[in-house]
Amino acid sequence: MSPRSKSGRILIYALLVLGSLIFAAPLIWLISTSLKPIEQTMTMPPVWLPREYYAVISGKRTEVTRDYLVAPGVWHVTEFSSTKVREHALASAQLPESQIETQIRPRWENYPMALATIGGRNVEEVQGSVHSQTTGLSEDSHVPFSRFVANTVLVCVLNVIGVAISSAVVAYSFAKIRWPGRDVLFAVTIATMMIPFPVLMVPLYGIFRSLGWIGSLKPLWVPAWFGGAFYIFLMRQFFRTIPNELSEAARIDGCNEWQIFWCVILPLSKPVIACVALFQFLSCWNDFMAPLLYLTRKHTFTLALALANYQSQHGGVQWHHLMAASAVVTLPVIVLFFFAQKTFIRGITTTGLKG
């Protein structure tokens, strides 16, 4: 069957759609779980769409909650207080399925609740401070979500700037300047990519501790200003695709190496710089190991570390709130990739064209 035939194209499109659904399933489940009540998050069989249940009890249409732990036929009758969002279980009843009405209702309130509690406050404190104003909760007793965002953005921006500048300078010297031992040192630089981070954790921790940086954000962004082997390789391959005649013409006009690099090479290297910046941003945004190793105070946590701490800060995992917070953390990465995908793909496809 030829790929150009109608049946061949249909088969290819079907396989692409199937593959897309398989890869998108975790994200779909993440968003679905973030919109559910807590009792629907870990059910078997799974509930894909958040639902709301009602039953007519004593002539009144009342919301009920299925008890998935005791027995499928047991329902908790609930009501909503006018001053609190929290549900109060009033009674349990064995109700027939035919008496239950169901409708799809996303719990969008999970998102503000998750962002309010990720810093250490529990649900009761948030509900009381928002609706009844009776708790007298001190603002210093928790870390706001905005602080985690600010820490993460600061680390990502400094990493992106540092890696782009330092890697570009080193890659230019490897690609366009001839000096003794250049190829040997480039091979050594590439060889450092084979060293896993766990091997470097102990010596790096010792260095940063002697500098007094443990507990601060410096260990997370200062190393980026010394270049990265993978990014140096990527930029070197791109710089080698730029004709040397451009550099020679600039030298005839009186430019030195720095002026050639800044005024000739960099303006032509926007795709690879954007590719390196995107790679580094994604790596820093999702990094968990380094913040776990170096950060000791909660107000310095990044988003990845704050999410990990959120799982057990109240003695149990509030899955609907955890998924809501995870969706918020994932959203900027998805938006950034969609806006930068053309530049990213161009930067990947135009590297390595010249040996």
Per-residue pLDDT for 213 more than 70? Answer: yes
Within-domain flag for 354: no
* pLDDT for position 82: 36
- Residue partners of 191: CB distance under 8 A and separation at least 6: none
Residue 70 and residue 161 in one domain: no
Residue 257 and residue 136 in one domain: no
* pLDDT for position 344: 65
**If pLDDT is split at 50, 70 and 90, which confidence band does 120 have?**
low
Q: What CATH number is given to the structural domain containing 320?
A: 1.10.3720.10
Instruction: Taking residues 135-157, report their average pLDDT.
Output: 77
Within-domain flag for 281: yes
* pLDDT for position 126: 59
Per-residue pLDDT for 1 more than 70? Answer: no
* pLDDT for position 334: 86
Per the structure, the complete domain to which residue 80 belongs is given by 39-141
For the question of whether the overall pTM of this predicted structure is more than 0.75, the answer is yes
Within-domain flag for 84: yes
pLDDT (tens digit per residue) in 148-197: 999 999 999 999 999 999 999 999 999 999 999 999 999 999 999 999 88
Query: Is residue 187 within 8 Å of 248, Cβ to Cβ?
Result: no
**What total of structural domains would you count in the chain?**
3
Query: Is residue 80 within 8 Å of 133, Cβ to Cβ?
Result: no
Residue 173 and residue 311 in one domain: yes
Within-domain flag for 308: yes
Per-residue pLDDT for 203 more than 90? Answer: yes
Residue 246 and residue 268 in one domain: yes
Within-domain flag for 75: yes
Residue 164 and residue 310 in one domain: yes
Q: Average pLDDT over the chain, rounded to whole?
A: 81
Identify the DSSP state of 223: G
**If pLDDT is split at 50, 70 and 90, which confidence band does 95 have?**
low
Count CB neighbours of 300 within 10 A: 19
Token readout for 60 is 């009144």
CA distances from 83 to 114, 132, 352 (A): 20, 6, 64
Residue 73 and residue 156 in one domain: no
Residue 338 and residue 233 in one domain: yes
Query: Is residue 219 within 8 Å of 294, Cβ to Cβ?
Result: yes
Specify burial of residue 51 (Cβ count, 10 A radius: 0-12, 13-18, 19+).
middle
**If pLDDT is split at 50, 70 and 90, which confidence band does 50 have?**
confident
Per-residue pLDDT for 280 more than 80? Answer: yes
The residue whose two tokens read 């799974």 is: 46
Which of these, 206, 198, 204, 276, lies nearest to 237 by C-alpha position? 276
Instruction: Taking residues 249-273, report their average pLDDT.
Output: 90
Specify burial of residue 236 (Cβ count, 10 A radius: 0-12, 13-18, 19+).
buried
Within-domain flag for 210: yes
CA-CA distance, 42 to 343, in Å (whole number)?
A: 40
Per-residue pLDDT for 37 more than 80? Answer: yes
Residue 241 and residue 291 in one domain: yes
Per-residue pLDDT for 142 more than 70? Answer: yes
Among 141, 164, 180, residue at a domain's last position: 141
CA distances from 106 to 44, 54, 114, 184, 277 (A): 19, 15, 15, 59, 36
Instruction: Taking residues 69-73, report their average pLDDT.
Output: 54
Within-domain flag for 295: yes
Residue 96 and residue 220 in one domain: no
Phi and psi torsions of 208, nearest 5°: -70, -30
